[in-house]
Amino acid sequence: MRFSLGSVIVAFVGLVGLLTATEPVHAQGGPALSKDPAVFKAHLVQFIQLTRRNLRDIQALPDDDSIPVDRELRNRVSQAYGLVRAARWGIELAQNAKTYKDPMLDLAYNRIDQAMVFARYPVDNTYVPRAEYVSQSEQNLSRALRLVQQTLVILP
């Protein structure tokens, strides 16, 4: 009886600690979230630069499935995904701050939303056979790059 009551108390204290944390989840080293167009455009430019590098590195991966995908590459594709996600969030904040509906922001948001899905593939699918990973990552990242480049032209 004491063991289960002690476990419940420890779990409750842990839950209270998580709920009362003063640092927001997004402030843990990720890109800054802002409705300022200069900030989310900068995220998109960084995404393009990082994704081009990631594409080159993915294309250069060995065909051997027994060698895992390099941790540094996995971190960079995750970082690129974080940048496009932060830009999407910034565009959404900008949309919500406007008193009128801006069709250009809506168009930009839709493209970034699609780009985010494509940018997610190499982050989540490192377990698939290497040839498939390289092929699908190359296709998805190329699509994400095109969508982000189009978005940069659309944004004010």
Is 12 inside a domain boundary?
no
**Is 90 exceeded by the pLDDT of residue 22?**
no
Q: Determine, yes or no, domain membership for 35.
A: yes
Span 49-101, pLDDT tens digits: 999 999 999 999 988 888 888 899 999 999 999 999 999 999 999 999 988 88
**Domain contains 7:** no
Residue 45: which CATH number? 1.20.120.660
Residue 107 in any domain: the answer is: yes
Please tell me the distance from the alpha carbon of residue 79 to that of residue 24, in angstroms, as a whole number. 18
Tell me the average pLDDT of the chain.
85
Instruction: Note if the pTM is more than 0.85.
Output: no
Cβ contact 145:120 at 8 Å: no
Is residue 105 a contact partner of residue 43, using CB atoms and an 8 Å limit? no
- How far CA 101 is from CA of 36, 63, 76, 79, 115, in Å, comes to 17, 49, 35, 31, 22
Six token digits for residue 131: 């040839």
Q: What is the pLDDT of residue 72?
A: 95
Residue 24 lies inside a defined structural domain of this protein: no
Q: Which domain holds residue 36?
A: 30-154
Q: Is 60 exceeded by the pLDDT of residue 28?
A: no
Q: How many domains, the chain?
A: 1
Of 153, 136, 28, 4, nearest to 77 by C-alpha is 136
